[in-house]
Chains A and B, each alone.
Chain A
């Protein structure tokens, strides 16, 4: 009887062990992405993970897919994803999961931290005879890491100055020219600062700094990471602090959660006459402030010969995608001349191809807009996007507040950011 009980207990232990091992295996299987021929597809439809902040984003992706279909009727893509401020946090988890998509999207050229899960596209481009010279070389460089291309750009999003034409008119200020300088910018901001409206709204993180640096031809990062010791980096941040504290033409930055955009909110609500934004915000600003009320201008530079800062967006293909050829064909179609021209019929985002810009000028923009975009996109300062870009933005957002409050100097802030990055 006793031995029988022992056998039963032994079997029980074996059963329990199998149960635990099975549970662990199931858990691990659920956490790791597979790579069979159906991975990242739902039937014949490619799955795409992207940022979706609301109806405008949904419409945008639907339009890009419709553009792809217009160029190649076989294109079938479905999409899902969180708002942009959660997107990059969730992206690695999604790429690693068993339900990893075939296609992912990147804004501001931020492919670097994710290349381990991305398929290099150079060979596929060669195989499919895709002419990469149709895209801005600065944009392709931003979407490449160590000489390998990881995303095909669909949207040329150079950062530009948005300005509120009505507020300019009310202040009696001339609209910016293509060769305006930083001094001109400050004078304009001073003139438009009145009646509770600031002349300029400062954004958080590295974007305003990198854009101001690029305007004078200085890249904010190199292959070693952000150039925090570069005097131009310090000067750019100092200019932003001075705009708030010395010239009193902008609201000082305060502590805020990452992924929030108080500067865009201030411009959209008419509390600031100018802001520095990516061109993808154009449609949103036009819808909020009126289509004819929003102007765009080049970034002011010291010399007056402004260069652009590319924030190109692109489609990438995951390593786990079950049909990479099909995925590439879809990307090729969505970024083709006819595909992007089709998108300009309903979207204000600027096509990544120069040969589709004429359609954009006709459908959405104006010759003035096109001139700004050409200057900012095709005469841009090339700069790699460092792998610790997200960390840089988080640390700058936290520490730059101390420079605005006067608790620290700009140099001290940059030292603290440098320490945080472990440089």
Chain B
């Protein structure tokens, strides 16, 4: 897997540090194959229509609905910014932001850490490592709803986990009746389900590191930890960046795990923003308010993603 930082490449080309030898000039540069300009639009039109129908129009509709009082079977009344003012004073929503933030803070570093550790482990000359990769990827391929039913049985008061703990003189732990433990279960199940995907991506990043570089660092006397922190991690940083961005976005959008394991409870201890949004829209039938929540969630994710894009220049190495 090769990662190229496009903005850097453009900059280098325009500043002259890289000679733009292959770049055609003038009108020919725009139309190297000839033909009218609209031909290009025809080629991208199917993609654009798909983008418009499935992404842009629903997003715009959601944005507009956020300024209304709308129900599925009733009408729609424009209410200005009332939904957004209500959000600021809605303890259930503010709690869901806090719960999701805790989830992101614990889940993302744990996910990246476990994925990286597993990828490094599978990079060693361990027997059957390809099979192990497949095995660790299986949870990511299995449906969450089916997994959740099993996890609920495992973690209930008299479930297998507590029976196991009691056999060694521990527990029982109130996994599903205490808010903190319930959130820990949701985070744990999420990690179990998703680390395999990141492990594969990071493994591909590790595989792309030239053995010559590692060999050179050995000759220079770099120890195991020096090699990891000064050679491996910088060289795999584009893959790390990619997985971190996607994991953060996914973490803010967490829904299925809480929905199928705890239903947001006990109390509202596992009520994520997405679950609250879903309940608002489809249980409370408040589509306008749910759309306002969706807009705020979109903004939160956009801010975090932009922050990561801005921060990458300090730690991501594309060389």
Check B57–A24 contact: CB distance below 8 A.
yes
Contacting A23 at CB < 8 Å: which of B57, B176, B262? B57
Check A405–B268 contact: CB distance below 8 A.
no
In chain A, what residue has the closest Cβ to B90?
Answer: A422
Check B176–A256 contact: CB distance below 8 A.
yes
A25 → B minimal CB distance (Å): 11
State whether the Cβ of B252 lies closer than 8 Å to any Cβ in chain A: no
Complex contacts, B177 vs chain A, CB 8 Å: 252-255, 401, 404-405
State whether the Cβ of B178 lies closer than 8 Å to any Cβ in chain A: yes
> Which residues in chain B, 33-58, are within 8 Å of chain A measured between CB atoms?
38, 49, 52-53, 57
Cβ contacts A to B, 15 pairs, < 8 Å: A89-B282, A89-B283, A92-B73, A92-B285, A95-B72, A251-B158, A254-B157, A256-B265, A391-B279, A394-B283, A397-B263, A397-B265, A399-B265, A401-B177, A402-B266
Complex contacts, A251 vs chain B, CB 8 Å: 157-158
Contacting B53 at CB < 8 Å: which of A12, A23, A253? A23
Given A257-B261, A405-B177; A27-B266 close (CB under 8 Å): no
Complex contacts, A407 vs chain B, CB 8 Å: 178-179, 266-267
Complex contacts, A258 vs chain B, CB 8 Å: 263
State whether the Cβ of B92 lies closer than 8 Å to any Cβ in chain A: yes
Complex contacts, A14 vs chain B, CB 8 Å: none
Which of A92, A116, A255, A256 gathers most chain B CB within 10 Å?
A255
State whether the Cβ of B16 lies closer than 8 Å to any Cβ in chain A: no
User: Could you give, for residues 303-329 of chain A, a 1 whenever the CB lies within 8 Å of some chain B CB and a 0 otherwise?
Assistant: 000000000000000000000000000
In chain B, what residue has the closest Cβ to A24?
Answer: B57
B47 → A minimal CB distance (Å): 14
State whether the Cβ of B317 lies closer than 8 Å to any Cβ in chain A: no
Known: A255-B265, A257-B152. 13 other contacts (CB 8 A): A19-B49, A23-B52, A252-B157, A255-B182, A255-B266, A256-B263, A394-B264, A394-B279, A397-B265, A398-B271, A399-B265, A401-B265, A407-B266
Complex contacts, B259 vs chain A, CB 8 Å: 257
Check A116–B73 contact: CB distance below 8 A.
yes
Check A256–B152 contact: CB distance below 8 A.
yes
Check B262–A257 contact: CB distance below 8 A.
yes
Complex contacts, B270 vs chain A, CB 8 Å: 255
State whether the Cβ of B174 lies closer than 8 Å to any Cβ in chain A: yes
State whether the Cβ of B221 lies closer than 8 Å to any Cβ in chain A: no
> Which residues in chain A, 161-192, are within 8 Å of chain B measured between CB atoms?
none
In chain A, what residue has the closest Cβ to B287?
Answer: A92
Check B73–A401 contact: CB distance below 8 A.
no
Main secondary structure of the interface of B (DSSP, over half): loop
Complex contacts, A399 vs chain B, CB 8 Å: 265-267
State whether the Cβ of B260 lies closer than 8 Å to any Cβ in chain A: yes
Residues in chain A within 8 A of chain B (CB atoms): 12, 19-20, 23-24, 27, 89, 92-93, 95-96, 113-114, 116-117, 251-258, 388, 390-391, 394, 397-399, 401-402, 404-405, 407-408, 416, 419-420
Complex contacts, B14 vs chain A, CB 8 Å: none
Contacting A93 at CB < 8 Å: which of B38, B49, B72, B182? B72
Check B57–A405 contact: CB distance below 8 A.
no
Which of B57, B148, B284 gathers most chain A CB within 10 Å?
B284
> Which residues in chain B, 133-179, are within 8 Å of chain A measured between CB atoms?
148, 152, 156-158, 174, 176-179
> Which residues in chain B, 48-76, are within 8 Å of chain A measured between CB atoms?
49, 52-53, 57, 71-74
In chain A, what residue has the closest Cβ to B157?
Answer: A254
Q: What number of residue pairs across chains A and B have CB atoms under 8 A from each other?
A: 101
B94 → A minimal CB distance (Å): 13
> Which residues in chain B, 266-318, are within 8 Å of chain A measured between CB atoms?
266-268, 270-271, 279, 282-285
In chain B, what residue has the closest Cβ to A403?
Answer: B266
The complex places the Cα of A99 from the Cα of B80 at a distance, in Å, of 32
Check A117–B267 contact: CB distance below 8 A.
no
Check B72–A23 contact: CB distance below 8 A.
no
Counting chain B residues whose Cβ lies within 8 A of the other chain, the interface size class is 35 or more
Question: What are the 9 tightest A-B residue pairs by CB atom distance, in nearest-first order?
Answer: A92-B72, A398-B265, A401-B266, A254-B176, A116-B73, A255-B262, A255-B265, A405-B177, A257-B263
Complex contacts, A92 vs chain B, CB 8 Å: 71-73, 285
The complex places the Cα of A356 from the Cα of B31 at a distance, in Å, of 81
The complex places the Cα of A407 from the Cα of B176 at a distance, in Å, of 13
Complex contacts, A398 vs chain B, CB 8 Å: 263-268, 271
The complex places the Cα of A286 from the Cα of B50 at a distance, in Å, of 51
Complex contacts, A419 vs chain B, CB 8 Å: 91
Check B49–A23 contact: CB distance below 8 A.
yes
Complex contacts, B182 vs chain A, CB 8 Å: 255
Check B49–A388 contact: CB distance below 8 A.
no
In chain A, what residue has the closest Cβ to B262?
Answer: A255
The complex places the Cα of A61 from the Cα of B178 at a distance, in Å, of 41
Check B53–A27 contact: CB distance below 8 A.
yes
The complex places the Cα of A388 from the Cα of B280 at a distance, in Å, of 12
In chain A, what residue has the closest Cβ to B278?
Answer: A89
Which of B91, B152, B178, B283 gathers most chain A CB within 10 Å?
B283
A254 → B minimal CB distance (Å): 4
In chain B, what residue has the closest Cβ to A390?
Answer: B283
Complex contacts, A402 vs chain B, CB 8 Å: 266-267
A202 → B minimal CB distance (Å): 13
B143 → A minimal CB distance (Å): 14
B54 → A minimal CB distance (Å): 10
Check B73–A96 contact: CB distance below 8 A.
yes
Check A95–B73 contact: CB distance below 8 A.
yes
The complex places the Cα of A390 from the Cα of B278 at a distance, in Å, of 13
